[in-house]
């Protein structure tokens, strides 16, 4: 099978592959017992990300169990602030913690020139995974979008209201722009290093895009992602770029039109009919099963899978995925059932 016939890459370019490609955001992780076993052997989550032996194995674990069409490099969006010199750590059961940046002065402490060296093990992992991938499976690289990464850098972790980030972004946009510009540069460098190591497609996660109003969404989500996409496309015209402006509601359409990406990953709040009519004419689409369906399982889960596939797969330019990441309480058997349902939908169409 040649590179161009990998189903994921064909679909992200808007084509009609032989089968509907499927992968799941957060397909590696705590819902898999083999992940938890390896996680227990590592010296914390960052050590897992920065030890190529571990990270390669964790990346491949979901592909050993399920007939998925892609591996996503095992890493995290917060390796970029860590690579820039910010203090980042993970508390089990609580999530990421960062020593929060305060004000413009803190920006001067961040050093892009040190990042490539620090993140070398991540790129080494990408190269090892690429060499080990079965035929027909693609390797996806990823990064967080500048706005989402900035929220963690400023809030010091997860947040409900993002008020530290918004106070700066809305109150002093030109100052905040300096942080976003640095993150655009860092993201381009990080994604290009993954591509050089073997990533065949990249995804930009803007998990907190839905917190922004329309003016801020244009400036802090669409514009930075457009800058990243155009710089990557100039050097790597064959690498499809997917954007995920999670929970952006009616702003999704503007994203599909103006962010300069090949594909848009769609959250679960979208009806399949609206995806087909409002997004698919502009970009390839990926999504959008509610991760809660995958936790609950049962015939209603399968019905949703069929409804998504039956409306979107015939249009081409479609990748089956969840509308957000796999939740830790997911039963792995349900993942196998979803993959089977996507394959059955293909079989019933021909």
Interaction site with ligand 1CP (CB under 6 A): 25-30, 39, 45, 72, 74-78, 90, 92, 95-96, 142, 144, 158, 205, 207, 325
Q: Which of 31, 50, 152, 252 is catalytic?
A: 152
280 catalytic, yes or no?
no
217 versus 345: smaller Cβ distance to ligand 1CP: 217
92 versus 161: smaller Cβ distance to ligand 1CP: 92
Strand partners, 245: 206
Least distance CB 202 / ligand 1CP (angstroms)? 11
Q: Which of 31, 39, 50, 69 is catalytic?
A: 39
Least distance CB 55 / ligand 1CP (angstroms)? 9
- In the numeric block, which tokens belong to residue 205? 């996660």
> What 3-state class would DSSP assign to 53?
helix
CB 218 within 8 A of CB 254: yes
22 versus 345: smaller Cβ distance to ligand 1CP: 22
Least distance CB 349 / ligand 1CP (angstroms)? 28
30 catalytic, yes or no?
yes
76 catalytic, yes or no?
yes
The CA-atom distances, in angstroms, between 210 and each of 60, 171, 287, 325 are 31, 19, 17, 16
26 catalytic, yes or no?
yes
20 versus 59: smaller Cβ distance to ligand 1CP: 59
- In the numeric block, which tokens belong to residue 38? 């390896």
Q: Which of 35, 50, 76, 304 is catalytic?
A: 76
39 catalytic, yes or no?
yes
Distance CA 5, CA 137 (A): 10
Strands 95-98 and 88-91: antiparallel
Buried b (16+ CB within 10 A) or exposed e, 38-62: bbeebeebbebbbbbebbbbbbbbb
Distance CA 129, CA 135 (A): 12
> What amino acid positions are annotated as catalytic residues?
26, 30, 39, 76, 152
């Amino acid at each position: 099978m040649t590179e161009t016939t990998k189903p994921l890459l064909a679909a992200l370019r808007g084509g009609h592959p032989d089968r509907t490609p499927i992968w799941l955001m957060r397909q590696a992780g705590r819902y898999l017992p083999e992940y938890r076993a390896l996680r227990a052997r590592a010296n914390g989550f960052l050590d897992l990300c920065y030890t190529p032996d571990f990270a390669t194995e964790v990346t491949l674990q979901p592909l050993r169990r399920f007939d998925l069409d892609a591996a996503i490099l095992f890493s995290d969006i917060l390796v970029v602030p860590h690579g820039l010199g910010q203090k980042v750590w993970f508390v089990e059961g609580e999530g990421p913690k960062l020593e929060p940046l305060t004000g413009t002065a803190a920006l001067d402490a961040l050093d892009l020139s040190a990042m490539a060296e620090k993140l070398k093990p991540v790129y080494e992992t990408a190269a090892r995974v690429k060499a080990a991938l079965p035929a027909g499976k693609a390797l996806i690289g990823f990064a967080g979008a500048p706005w989402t990464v900035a929220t963690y850098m400023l809030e010091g972790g997860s947040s409900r209201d993002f008020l530290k980030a918004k106070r700066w972004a809305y109150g002093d946009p030109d100052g905040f722009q300096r942080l976003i510009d640095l993150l655009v540069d860092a993201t381009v460098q990080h994604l290009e290093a993954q591509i050089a190591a073997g990533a065949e497609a990249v995804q930009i996660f803007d998990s907190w895009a839905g917190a922004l109003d329309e003016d801020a969404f244009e400036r802090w989500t669409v514009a930075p992602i457009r800058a990243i996409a155009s710089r990557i496309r100039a050097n790597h015209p064959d690498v499809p770029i997917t954007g995920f402006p999670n929970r952006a509601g009616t702003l999704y359409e503007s994203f599909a039109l103006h962010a300069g990406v090949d594909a848009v990953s769609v959250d679960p709040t979208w009806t399949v009919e609206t995806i087909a009519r409002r997004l698919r004419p502009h970009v390839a689409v990926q999504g959008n099963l509610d991760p809660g369906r995958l936790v609950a399982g049962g015939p209603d889960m399968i019905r949703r899978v069929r409804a998504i596939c039956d409306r979107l797969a015939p249009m081409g330019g479609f990748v089956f995925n969840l509308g957000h990441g796999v939740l830790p309480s997911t039963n792995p058997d349900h993942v196998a059932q979803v993959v089977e349902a996507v394959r059955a939908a293909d079989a019933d169409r021909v």
